[in-house]
Amino acid sequence: MNLGRLRGLIWKESVQILRDPSALAIAFVLPLFLLLLFGYGVSLNAEHVPIGVVAEHPNPQTETFVGTLRHSRYFDVHELPSLAAAGAAMAQHEIRGFVWMRSDFARQTLGPGPGTIGVALNGVDANTARLVQGYLTQSWQIWLAQQQQEQGAAPALPVAAQTRIWFNPALRSRDYLVPGLIAVIMTLIGALLTALVVAREWERGTMEALMASPVTMAEILVGKLLPYFVLGMGGMALSVGLAVTLFAVPLRGSLLVLAGASALFLLVALGMGLLISSLARNQFVAGQISIVVTFLPAFILSGFIFDIRSMPTVIQGITHILPARYFVSILQTVFLAGDVWAVILPDAGALAMMAVFFLGVTLLRSRKRLD
Amino acid sequence: MARLLALIRKEFLALLRDKASRMVLIGPPLIQLLVFSYAATFDLNNIPFVVINEDPGLAGREMVARFEGSPSFRQVAALPSTAGMADLIDHRAALLAIHVGRDFSRDLMIGRPAPLQIVIDGRNSNTAAIALSYASEIVLGFDADWAAAHGGRAAPATLEVRAWYNPNLLSRWFVVPGIVGLLTFVVTMLVSGLSVVREREAGTFDQLLVTPYRPWEILLGKAAPGLLIGAAEASVIVVVAVTWFGVPLIGSVVALALGLALFLVSAIGIGLMISSLAATQQQGLLGAFLFLVPAIILSGFATPIENMPRLVQYVTYLNPMRYLMVILRGTFLEGDGFVALLGQYWPLALLGAASMTAATALARRRMG
């Protein structure tokens, strides 16, 4: 490793970066754009869900129950005249579900013997349906308790369950989605920055010119890596800044841990891009491979949105080969819980091993040969 | 016509000549279909929980047994006191802790509200919300049975919930049709996103432009492989979704095919537009990602469009994936036919026509 030569290579790569603005756009515009769009756009918190109520015989009981539903921020209540109208509204996607209060509503709810109230939900989006079901049950219990209190009866629920939700008491989905989103975005940035750089040199024939010079392959790779690493860390800093300021995601861990983990992850992501690039030697194929192996796996298998613990065991095993998985876990923990070393150390260890693997294989595969 | 066929043949050769390129187009989508369809679930069936039971009585044990007996929960530890609980939750060894207080049984017997503490790891807020509702269900069941057995007042009325279209609320029925759309989309972007800019960088696009071919013919030639490969892969994926994953396809297959075809045209149009606008392949790749990623995240695939702010909802009207998701889920689960989906067809057709026209104009303009 010759420092003078290395400096020259880094200079050349930096000039190339500045000449085609797309690399700068990748490092800074991409995270800004994606984080703004998704930070606002992606939410699993269903609020103001349109829901129908059908009261066959409106009376004070049904009115107070509808009032409780109206009072909840989760619902947007539509009163419908008949069951048929509710069915039609459901088919048209105008409502997500409806409560059917039959003519014997009062007897069913407050009379002797266990009664039932009919509820229909659109189950296509099973997750939202389940959340709506939970909100409805909540409103239902609130209403029941009120009714019983008015009648002076003892509470019907023998167990007083107190629930505490740690790290995210309001269950804001944004607080867990934004840290994960940063991992997904950094995966894209890392691959996009380097996926084409070696392939481009091969395609244009300048790689052969480089080979004829005294620089070593390791110097070429470090020369490619370093400028993009600086760019990537800049993008990361921008993303974290946005998450904390604009989206008000709490950052309970230390910045130092965050920076260290990001540096490791970026090395992995850039290394993966370099490996794709030096294996493909052709920008078109390198581009195709990087689209296929980066975004969708990081989106679906990293735990960013779908909980890894809910996946079948075999699939959980597969997620271990995915760098984004470890980074998502680190980010969610450092942002929401703090510096929990029992989570951070194993994840960081896995990332370090992957970085060594990708960079090592890239170095081994790129000998000074022309074939 | 013959000359158009020759052009299309050339595009196929250019695309499939490279072995790596062939592999990328065929292998990953099928592997990803299998892996993602199993992976992408919001259902919780294995919630690890820790028990802290300080109650010497029977009622506490009965409550814990209900959690253990539930198929959704799995006990990972039992602690004598709350001392080690925080660690287990911090490390993600347990998602949930159930703390039965010392006086639980006694309070129940004398009719005082018996305290039960439930602590949940909220790092994944969606998982936490669902785990919470499962836990409440178990507690409510306990309540009802206790009241019935101990001669208290009868249990209050319960909500009898019935889910239409997906009676068991299986996430898979919701997600797999979405994955059909995702993979079809990625394949068309792979084929069309870099196709013009590659020729431009190589200099062969200029040669193409000086041939008697009209610009729209050249673009049609570029669109054809995406259309054919996209349609073929989409069909295979739909068949796998129905046969392997057992997702019902109760609507009209013709309506689904029409929807997919319209989607392919608009996605390819946008891909070619990006490709014509880019000066280098790096820019083309960036453009492809800048379209692909938002189009998927804002499609309603995983997070409902209704949850988005109004402004972002308006942006999604420009997203062909948005319409495809409705078409896929409508035909698969809700039994929709042609008429029910008209509202999705025309925006797709409009997007397709506009993007193909724009791509043609851009390809010609960049000549100068």
Contact across the interface for B160 and A200, Cβ inside 8 Å: no
Flag whether B11 is in a domain: no
Flag whether B156 is in a domain: no
Comparing A177-186, B208-217, B308-317, B338-347, the range with the smallest average pLDDT is: B208-217
d(CA B30, CA B84): 45
Question: What is the predicted pLDDT for the residue at A323?
Answer: 93
Residue B336 CB neighbours (<10 A): 23
Q: Which of residues 22-81 of B touch A (CB under 8 A)?
A: 24-25, 28, 32, 35-36, 38-46, 48, 63
Burial A127-158 (b: 16+ CB within 10 A, else e): bbbbbbbbbbbebbbebbeebbeeeeeebbbb
Q: Which chain A positions have a beta carbon within 8 Å of B118's beta carbon? A: 161-164
**Residues B35, B52: one domain?**
no
**A106 close to B (CB below 8 A):** no
**A332 close to B (CB below 8 A):** yes
Last residue of a domain, one of B149, B183, B210: B149
Q: Distance (Å) from the C-alpha of residue B306 to the closest C-alpha of chain A?
A: 8
Size of interface A-B (CB pairs under 8 A): 365
Q: How confident is the model at residue B368 (pLDDT cuts 50, 70, 90)?
A: very low
**Residues B223, B344: one domain?**
yes
Q: Which CATH class is domain A49-151?
A: alpha beta
Residue A162 pLDDT > 80, yes or no?
A: no
Q: Which of residues 263-302 of B touch A (CB under 8 A)?
A: 280-286, 288-290, 292-294, 296-298, 302
Question: What is the predicted pLDDT for the residue at B254?
Answer: 93
**Residues B313, B201: one domain?**
yes
Q: What is the CATH number of the domain that holds B73?
A: 3.40.1710.10
Query: According to the per-residue pLDDT averaged within each range, which of B38-42, B146-150, B227-231 is highest?
Result: B227-231
Q: Helices (H) and strands (E) in chain A — how many of each?
A: 16, 5
Give me the mean pLDDT over the A17-38 stretch: 81
Going by the DSSP 8-state scheme, the letter that residue B91 receives in this structure is T
Strand order in the sheet with A75-80: A75-80, A49-55, A97-101, A116-122, B158-164
Contact across the interface for B125 and A162, Cβ inside 8 Å: no
Question: Is residue A282 classed as helix, strand or coil in its secondary structure?
Answer: coil
Cross-chain CB nearest to A291 (options B108, B282, B288): B288
Question: What is the predicted pLDDT for the residue at A153?
Answer: 61
pTM value? 0.84
Full residue range of the structural domain in which residue B133 is found: 47-149
Token pair in block for residue A321: 């080969």
How many domains does chain B contain in total? 2
**Residues B131, B230: one domain?**
no
**A259 close to B (CB below 8 A):** no
Q: What is the ipTM of this complex?
A: 0.81
**Residues B86, B125: one domain?**
yes
Strand B114-121 to B158-164 pairing = unpaired
Comparing alpha-carbon positions, the chain B residue that sits nearest to A339 is B90
Residue A21 pLDDT > 80, yes or no?
A: no
Residue B345 pLDDT > 80, yes or no?
A: yes
Q: How confident is the model at residue B30 (pLDDT cuts 50, 70, 90)?
A: confident
**Residues B212, B271: one domain?**
yes
Q: Given CA atoms A75, A76, A79, A84 in this order, what sign does their dihedral have?
A: negative
Going by the DSSP 8-state scheme, the letter that residue B113 receives in this structure is P
Q: What is the pLDDT of residues A49-89, one digit of tens each?
A: 899 999 888 888 888 889 989 988 889 999 998 889 998 88
Each domain of chain A, given as residue ranges in start order, spans 3-42+172-365, 49-151
